[in-house]
Amino acid sequence: MPELPEVETVRRGLERALPGRRIVAVSAPETEPTWLAWQAAWQAALTGRAIHAVRRRAKFLMLDLDDDLALVVHLRMTGALTVNQADEPPARFHRVALRLDNGTELRFGDMRRFGTVEVLDPAGLAARLAALGHEPLDDALDAAAVRAALGRSPRLATKAALLDQRRIAGLGNIYADESLHRAGIHPQTPVGTLTDAEIARLTVAIKEVIAGGVAHNGTTFDAEGFRDAYGNPGGNLAFLRVYHRHGQPCLTCGKDTIAQMRLAGRSTHWCPTCQPERVVSSR
DNA sequence: ATGCGCCTGGGA
DNA sequence: TCCCAGGCGCAT
């Protein structure tokens, strides 16, 4: 599922192809009534406009267009943005295509239909991004900022806090689990009980895990999984230490088995030795 | 703070 | 046939 590293990987791919291109047509398949319904409005809004830049904020992609409009895409679970030759046959879950002035198309596909594509003006874009918390790789996100962002609730599980995009934006289930493992923090640890040392480790862990994911072009599990703008899988799977590794030996301590539980509605993976549960006093 | 609904394919 | 995967908005 696309989290910050996957979205950044897509952004980097799009940046090689889109800036300077002009949109010449918008089309959706006849078999896609919901996307077809937008076709005329998007045709009017987008045709003739040039793409100036491809930006990312958390898991949002923004294509800056003429007249301060932006095409804003969120891939959610299974969305994909690809650059294709216009005469290539569409992918299985193709939803909408922007025809460009050089014979290529920017295509959006989405198996589960959770993804969103919007055309926004500056006010609309600002509103869309307003609630997002810190960008993980921002230098401004130091330990003090992590402490402030996570808060001091005595009950909120640290993993739930990491998934809350209003606190730190861009982590999803994979990189939240990986960050907690690297920091040696049990996922259920209440944020209010995190020590300064734990916050410091978590801050470094988040940055390393996210930067590693970006460096390896994102995490791809299988043939249906994440693809970059040119259809290539990412290589970060080999670097995961807990996610989807339940029942397998811990690569960090070598003596325990990765455990799995349900937390905040998500499948959660951790090593009981490397991430011991906080012993809670009964008095 | 928790759970549901959205959506679909794949696996048990 | 049922359950699971899960980002996010919304209801409870």
A148 plus A124 within the same structural domain: no
Predicted TM-score (pTM) of the model is 0.96
- Residue A108 has what pLDDT? 96
In angstroms, rounded to a whole number, what is the distance separating the alpha carbons of residues A99 and A26? 6
Q: Give the nearest nucleotide to A173, CA to C1'.
A: C6
Asked if the structure places residue A282 within a domain, the reply is no
A108 closest CA partner among A14, A5, A218, A235: A14
A123 plus A16 within the same structural domain: yes
Q: What range does the domain containing A232 cover? A: 143-270
Q: Is A207 in the active site?
A: no
Supply the CATH number for residue A217's domain.
1.10.8.50
- Residue A12 has what pLDDT? 97
Asked if the structure places residue A135 within a domain, the reply is no
Of A96, A129, A162, which residue constitutes the final position of a domain?
Answer: A129
- How many structural domains are present in chain A? 2
- Residue A174 has what pLDDT? 95
Strands A70-74 and A104-110, bridge-based pairing: unpaired
A224 touches strand B (CB under 7 A): yes
- Residue A224 has what pLDDT? 84
Give the model confidence (pLDDT) of A107-154 as tens digits.
999 999 999 999 999 999 999 999 999 999 999 999 999 999 999 998
CB A54 within 8 Å of CB A99? no
Supply the CATH number for residue A94's domain.
3.20.190.10
Which residue of the set A11, A59, A159, A201 is catalytic? A59
Q: Sort residue A151 into left (φ over 0), alpha (ψ -120 to 50) or beta.
A: left
A8 plus A61 within the same structural domain: yes
A196 plus A221 within the same structural domain: yes
Which residue of the set A2, A5, A136, A187 is catalytic? A2
Asked if the structure places residue A278 within a domain, the reply is no
Q: Is A159 in the active site?
A: no
A198 plus A253 within the same structural domain: yes
A265 touches strand B (CB under 7 A): yes
Asked if the structure places residue A283 within a domain, the reply is no
Question: Along the 283 residues of chain A, how does pLDDT read in single tens digits?
Answer: 899 999 999 999 999 999 999 999 999 999 898 899 999 999 999 999 999 999 999 999 999 999 999 999 999 999 999 999 999 999 999 999 999 999 999 999 999 999 999 999 999 999 999 999 999 999 999 999 999 999 999 889 999 999 999 999 999 999 999 999 999 999 999 999 999 999 999 999 999 999 999 999 999 998 889 999 999 999 999 999 999 999 999 999 999 999 999 998 899 999 999 999 986 544 3
- Contacts with A131 (C-beta within 8 Å, 6 or more apart), sequence order: A165, A166
Which residues share a beta bridge with A108? A81, A96
Asked if the structure places residue A138 within a domain, the reply is no
Work out whether the CA dihedral A49, A51, A55, A58 comes out positive or negative.
positive
- Residue A278 has what pLDDT? 81
Asked if the structure places residue A80 within a domain, the reply is yes
In angstroms, rounded to a whole number, what is the distance separating the alpha carbons of residues A190 and A232? 39
A153 touches strand B (CB under 7 A): yes
CA–C1' gap, A213 and B10, in angstroms: 26
Of A129, A156, A176, which residue constitutes the final position of a domain?
Answer: A129
- Residue A223 has what pLDDT? 83
User: What is the number of other CB atoms lying within 10 angstroms of the CB of residue A139?
Assistant: 8
DSSP state of A256: S
Question: In chain A, what's the furthest Cα-to-Cα distance?
Answer: 71
A169 plus A262 within the same structural domain: yes
